[in-house]
Amino acid sequence: MIKIGINGFGRIGRALTRINLRHKKYEIVALNDIDEDIHNHAYLLKYDTTYGKLRDDKVDVEGDAIKVNGYLMKLFREREIKNVPWADMGVDIVIEASGVSQNVLQAREVTNGPVKKVIVTHAPKQGIDFSYMYGVNSEDYDKKRHHVVSSSICDANALAPFYTLIEKKFGVEMGEVTTLHPWLSYQNLLDGTLKSVSSPGHLWRDYALGRSSVGSLIPKETTLCDAMMKVLPESGEKLHASSFRTPTSIVSSIDGVLLLEQKTDLEDVKRALVEYTKTYPGVLKLDERSLISIDYLGNENAAVVDMRWLHLNKGRMLKFVLWYDNEWGYSNRVYEIIGHLT
Ligand SMILES: NC(=O)c1ccc[n+]([C@@H]2O[C@H](COP(=O)([O-])OP(=O)(O)OC[C@H]3O[C@@H](n4cnc5c(N)ncnc54)[C@H](O)[C@@H]3O)[C@@H](O)[C@H]2O)c1
């Protein structure tokens, strides 16, 4: 069984742990986090405001380890990923989920020894061999050359499958998308300056994101197009994206339009979507129901296509709405990648 180490035991690190409790495909043997209180980590794994209490799993602390159902996950407290003795713990794959740039830059050192791969749970500018997305570019992954692998960001995981299928079937001339993303843990409850997570010690240069996260929609720039280019380079000159942080805790949405190169009709688009869901099960789900964001809490897909809003204007301008659980859906993508890398 593949042995996993998780660097950064926050929202994504804990979601991955919970997913593994459900599917039991891997053994998580080591955790690393700069927050030193192991009892607090165990508590946060057991009780989760978004996903509820772990009811059927027994979580304890035993010495330096969190014990879940008898299995031990040893907690380290290193600031730098390269200082964690992953290899001594028998780890095959490290998941870098701290979001700190320095850890990404050190990831190659981690893979120099017995640790085979590092998966980075965002889309950094540097330090990555390959951005892996099942159903989009997974055929280009080369086990021998790609060791530090990015699982990209949640928004790109949602958009890229939809985009690539539309591009392949009808061609995309250009597109505009808006992401609606719930607040993240580093935002402020009340107005203030905002500390960068990726570069500790630096303040966020977009002042608006430091404003109170609870009362307003906060417009912000997004790295979605950069992340899209890493998996679909040709999307770069065609797409433009903007974003809002929403005063909600979970479930994102993308509202967008793509101008198609080839005139078509809506039924063809729907057929192409159905075909895609059969070729790549689990990536996209098509939904006709009249639902709201919270109804997608705990959804495992990369994105759900809201078929009620799929609209084709004059045969060329395709309007679409996607929903995705930015933590659970995304962490399921990371979980899926683990099985494809070695
Ligand atoms: N939350 C989401 O919706 C989401 C979705 C996709 C990708 N991501 C990405 O995943 C990464 C983690 O996001 P998150 O939401 O889990 O954040 P989080 O703040 O909940 O968790 C980060 C964890 O890393 C720890 N940490 C900070 N510095 C560290 C260091 N130097 N070494 C070890 N641990 C350290 C923190 O103490 C915290 O427990 C980020 O890069 C984020 O962009 C998040």
Per residue in 301-339, pLDDT (tens digit) is 999 999 999 999 999 999 999 999 999 999 999 999 999
pLDDT at 201: 86
For helices 328-341 and 154-170, what crossing angle results, to 10°? Answer: 70
Are 172 and 300 in a shared domain?
yes
Strand ranges for 157-282 from DSSP E: 172-182, 218-220, 239-246, 252-260
Examine the fold and report which residue of 69, 103, 121 is the final residue of a domain before the chain moves on.
Answer: 121
- If asked whether residues 53 and 169 sit together in one domain, one would say no
Question: Hunting for tokens 């990831």 — which residue is that?
Answer: 107
84-93, pLDDT tens digit by residue?
Answer: 999 999 999 9
Domain assignment present for 24: yes
Residue 293 shares a structural domain with residue 162: yes
Looking at the annotation, which residues are catalytic?
154
Number of domains in the chain: 2
More confident: 199 or 107:
107
In a domain, 306, yes or no: yes
How many Å lie between the centroid of ligand 1 and the Cα of residue 99?
A: 5
Tens of pLDDT along 20-52?
Answer: 999 999 999 999 999 999 999 999 999 999 999
pTM: 0.97
pLDDT at 215 over 90: yes
Q: How confident is the model at residue 205 (pLDDT cuts 50, 70, 90)?
A: confident
Quick one: which atom of ligand 1 is closest to the CA of 41? 39
Q: What integer pLDDT is reported at residue 325 of this predicted model?
A: 98
Q: What is the pLDDT of residue 198?
A: 86
- Residues 266-276 have a mean pLDDT of 98
C-alpha to C-alpha distance for 5 and 272, rounded to whole angstroms? 39
Indicate if the pLDDT at residue 204 is higher than 90. Answer: no
Asked if pLDDT for residue 151 goes beyond 90, the answer is yes
Q: Is 148:118 a contact under the CB 8 Å cutoff?
A: yes
- In percent, the amount of the chain with pLDDT more than 70 equals 100
CATH number of the domain where residue 59 is located: 3.40.50.720
| 49-88 tens-digit pLDDT | 999 999 999 999 999 999 999 999 999 999 999 999 999 9
Give how far the C-alpha of residue 34 lies from the chain's centroid of Cα atoms, to the nearest Å.
21
Per-residue pLDDT for 124 more than 90?
yes
Tell me how far CA of residue 232 lies from CA of 137, 228, 285, in angstroms. 8, 6, 21
Instruction: Indicate whether 130 belongs to any domain.
Output: no
Q: pLDDT value at position 197?
A: 86
Residue list, ligand 1 pocket, CB within 6 Å: 7-13, 32-35, 79, 97-100, 103, 121-122, 153-154, 184-185, 326-327, 330
| Mutation to probe ligand 1, out of 31, 32, 33 (largest number of atoms < 8 A from CB) | 33
Which residue CA neighbors atom 41 of ligand 1 most closely? Answer: 99
Residues 198 and 266 in one domain: yes
Is the confidence at residue 288, as pLDDT, over 90?
yes
45 and 117, same domain (yes or no): yes
Q: Is residue 78 part of a domain?
A: yes
User: Residue 30: its pLDDT value, please?
Assistant: 98
Distance from residue 312's CA to the centre of ligand 1 (Å): 38
> Can you give the residue range of the structural domain that contains 236?
155-326
pLDDT tens digits for 227-262?
999 999 999 889 999 999 999 999 999 999 999 999
Question: Phi, psi (5° rounding) for residue 145?
Answer: -105, -30
